[in-house]
Amino acid sequence: MNGLIRVSMVALLFTLSGCASMLGQPSHTAHAGSVVDYLYPDAKAAPQMQPEVTHLHPPVRVGIAFVPGSTYGAGPTEAEKMKLLSQVKDSFAKYGYIGSIEFIPSSYLRPRGGFENLDQISRMFNVEVIALVSYDQIQFNDTNSLAVLYWTIVGAYMIHGDKYDVQTLLDTSVFDVGSRKLLFRAPGSSEVKGTASMAGFSEHSRIAQEQGYQKAVDQMIPALRSELEEFKERIKTDAAYAVENKPGYAGDLEWVGLALAVLLFGMAYAQRRQS
């Protein structure tokens, strides 16, 4: 009988350890929407740029879009994307040389669509410059020495035996669609580390991902404003850019208006002489 109990206990122990092993975290997860993968999907070598003058026609019509991710549904939620795009839009809207700003819905950007896709979007939304927001978030998971206490079952709920390290990189790359030239870019990065119990790992790591994303946003937006300011100054002096103004409107009375004003003034003068 005692032998049967011993065998049962050992079997139970192995079963539970099996559960713990099954619930172990993957060593790393990644969510990425890379601007390079999107624009140069089949590139084997670095793209060859011809030295040419980029013609800008302020006020420039700008489109803002999120680079499509490599995995459907991965990365930031649609609400987070829209919030970020709104912040990017606000950064652009401050400048007089920026005209209209259009949000480009994610569904219009094909994964690995390349510049051909960008040309289509440019024509469809009537924009000359596109700001592509890309993200890359990778999470490394490890266990520490406390993880051995997961064997006690209770430990899986109480002991923080799992570690996570979430690294996020956000980037806004602004391209002139006509010349396919990168005008400027503004990055933002963050790293969030922490520990969690096996049972709470999923929740903790999700919160860390959100925090990492937000920290990267908080770094990228000021960098974008700084880049916009710098670009505004750079195009005045850099020979690689030619600024050609869009048509303007003049309130102009011309010589005809001035002649009529002289006649009216003369009539008023005549009235005075007669009175």
Partner 1 sequence: MRNAVKAEVLVPSVVFSSLCVGLAFAPDSLVREFALNRTAVRTGEWWRLWTAHLVHFSPRHALFDAGAALLLGRVAETFLGKRDVAMALLLGAPLLSIAMLLILPNLMDYRGASGPATLLGVMAGVGLWHSRPKFRAPTACLGVLFLAKVASDAFGVPMTLTNLPTNVSIAWQVHLIGVALGLAVSILMCKVDYPAENAATVSRCLG
Query: Which parts of this chain interact with partner 1 (CB under 8 A)?
Result: 59, 93-96, 98-100, 245-258, 260-265, 267-269, 271-272, 274-275
Place of tokens 């003049």: 250
Q: How far is the CB of 94 from partner 1 (least distance, A)?
A: 6
Is 155 within 8 Å of 149 (Cβ atoms)?
Answer: yes
Q: How far is the CB of 239 from partner 1 (least distance, A)?
A: 19
Cα-trace Rg, the chain: 30
Residues 166-179 as b/e (b if ≥16 CB within 10 A, e otherwise) read bbbbbbbbbbbbeb
Give whichever of 36 and 259 is closer to partner 1, judged by the CB atom.
259
* H or E stretch at 271: helix 254-274
**Cβ neighbours of 87 (radius 10 Å):** 15
Give whichever of 60 and 217 is closer to partner 1, judged by the CB atom.
60
Question: Which DSSP symbol is given to 46?
Answer: P
Q: In angstroms, what CA-CA distances link 186 with 57, 78, 115, 173?
A: 22, 21, 20, 7
Q: How far is the CB of 266 from partner 1 (least distance, A)?
A: 9
Give whichever of 89 and 180 is closer to partner 1, judged by the CB atom.
89
Q: How far is the CB of 164 from partner 1 (least distance, A)?
A: 41
Give whichever of 57 and 180 is closer to partner 1, judged by the CB atom.
57
Q: How far is the CB of 32 from partner 1 (least distance, A)?
A: 34
Q: How far is the CB of 110 from partner 1 (least distance, A)?
A: 30
Q: Which of 221, 224, 226 is nearest to 83 (CA)?
A: 221
What are the structure tokens assigned to 199, written together? Answer: 């049972």
Give whichever of 10 and 267 is closer to partner 1, judged by the CB atom.
267
The answer, yes or no, to whether the previous bond of 26 is cis (omega within 30 of 0) is no
Give whichever of 148 and 263 is closer to partner 1, judged by the CB atom.
263
